[in-house]
């Protein structure tokens, strides 16, 4: 599904990714471990064209890609620091996202309410995002994945449990489990970045490790 060949990225003299080869196939869930600053987040951002890379190639369904809209819509990235319009409410932010992805207007409000209910934000639907805590922002980000789950094929999660309370972490675990169980029918794949070894092992099928610019299987 998604294949990376000899991908390299440096910031000045610091090598972040050194001719990295990586592949995630249909219905796979992969965890990516690494120390803070090892380049995990940079790697995810490269996959959605938020960060440029110096050398290498990215293939999607065996086609060398240029960051076109059709490709971007198939990969959803939930960053470590969720980004929303602070002056808009949770509902308004998701409504804006829905229009970008051209969700059926007859289904938008129902889908938004459902996604916010699942993550535990039903009582905050009309609150401006500017008053949200970091945990609430994380939940709102996760609701985006629920809202768009019929569109994305690969979900990139960067430290998704950071800032979540116990109920939020349980909600996230249940969602990941449901996506993994349903992926065989919907052709979904998950790539989850974390520095928490035990958590990542419990939520993915295989674990990789990023260190010194290389991604290798983690034993």
Taking CA 44 as the corner, what is the angle to CA 43 and CA 46, rounded to the nearest 5 degrees? 65
Q: Which two tokens stand for residue 103?
A: 């969700």
Q: Which two tokens stand for residue 106?
A: 């007859």
As a CATH number, domain 1-74+155-161+193-219 is 3.40.50.300
Task: Output the pTM of the full model.
Answer: 0.92
Measured distance CA(162)–CA(207) in Å, rounded: 19
Write down the pLDDT at residue 135: 94
Write down the pLDDT at residue 64: 80
Q: Which two tokens stand for residue 50?
A: 């938020």
Q: Which two tokens stand for residue 116?
A: 């916010």
Low pLDDT (below 50) residues in the chain: 183-184
Write down the pLDDT at residue 160: 94
In a 3-state reduction of DSSP, which class is residue 136?
A: helix
CA torsion sign, 199 to 200 to 204 to 207?
Answer: negative
What is the chain's alpha carbon radius of gyration, rounded to the nearest angstrom? 17
Write down the pLDDT at residue 51: 92
Q: Which two tokens stand for residue 188?
A: 């979904």
């Amino acid at each position: 599904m998604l294949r990376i060949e000899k991908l390299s990225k440096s910031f000045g003299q610091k090598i972040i990714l050194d001719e990295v080869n990586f592949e995630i196939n249909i219905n796979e869930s992969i965890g990516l471990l690494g120390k803070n600053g090892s380049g995990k987040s940079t790697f995810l951002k490269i996959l959605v064209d938020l960060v440029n890379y110096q050398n290498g190639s990215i293939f999607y369904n065996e086609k060398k890609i240029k960051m076109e809209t059709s490709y971007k819509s198939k990969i959803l990235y939930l960053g470590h620091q969720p980004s929303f319009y602070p002056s808009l409410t949770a509902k308004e932010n998701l409504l804006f996202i829905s229009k970008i992805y051209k969700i059926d207007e007859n289904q938008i409000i129902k889908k938004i309410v459902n996604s916010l209910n699942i993550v535990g934000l039903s009582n905050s639907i009309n609150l401006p995002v500017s008053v949200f805590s970091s945990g609430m922002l994380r939940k709102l980000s996760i609701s985006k994945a629920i809202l768009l789950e019929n569109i994305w094929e690969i979900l990139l999660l960067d430290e998704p449990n950071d800032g979540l309370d116990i109920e939020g972490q349980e909600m996230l675990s249940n969602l990941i489990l449901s996506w993994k169980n349903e992926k065989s029918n919907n052709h979904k794949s998950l790539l989850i970045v974390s520095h928490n070894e035990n958590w990542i092992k419990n939520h993915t099928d295989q674990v990789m490790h990023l260190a010194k610019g290389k991604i290798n299987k983690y034993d």
